[in-house]
């Protein structure tokens, strides 16, 4: 699973590609070791937290949340990140299930 429900939200597992041609959520990918994560691209460069800020903004917009509700908790300098999304876990799980659908792109 590419996210984990928590008491006060969810933790989302993300693989971020900075310096892309466009900002996009591309769906779910499973690595060779069996771990799943959401593939995301941002135009921002990975300097001074710009790519991380763009990731937070893109996720918040896609989920209909305020950017303050999306916080990178692990992997700030890595492509693989854990993102804490605050809110009702059940509602967020439903919204995140759309990200995993191949016909839905942001």
Domain definitions of the chain by residue range: 3-99
Q: Between 3.40.50.360, 3.40.50.720, 3.40.50.1100, 3.30.1200.10, what CATH number should domain 3-99 receive?
A: 3.30.1200.10
| Cβ neighbours of 30 (radius 10 Å) | 10
The Cα–Cα gap between 4 and 9 comes to 9
Interval 4-34: pLDDT, tens = 999 999 999 999 999 999 999 999 999 899 9
Name the pTM for this structure. 0.90
Low-confidence ranges of the chain (pLDDT < 70): 100-106
Neighbours of 77 (CB within 10 A): 9
Angle ∠(54,59,64) on CA atoms, nearest 5: 125
Separation CA 47–CA 51 (nearest Å): 7
């Amino acid at each position: 699973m590419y996210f984990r429900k928590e008491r006060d939200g969810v933790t989302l597992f993300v693989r971020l590609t900075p310096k892309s041609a466009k900002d996009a959520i591309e769906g779910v990918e499973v690595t060779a070791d069996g771990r799943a994560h959401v593939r995301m691209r941002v135009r921002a460069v990975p300097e001074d937290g710009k790519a991380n800020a763009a990731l937070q903004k893109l996720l918040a917009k896609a989920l209909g949340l305020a950017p303050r509700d999306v916080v990178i908790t692990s992997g700030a300098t890595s492509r693989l990140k854990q993102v804490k999304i605050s809110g009702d876990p059940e509602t967020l799980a439903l919204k995140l299930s759309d990200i995993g659908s191949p016909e839905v792109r942001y």
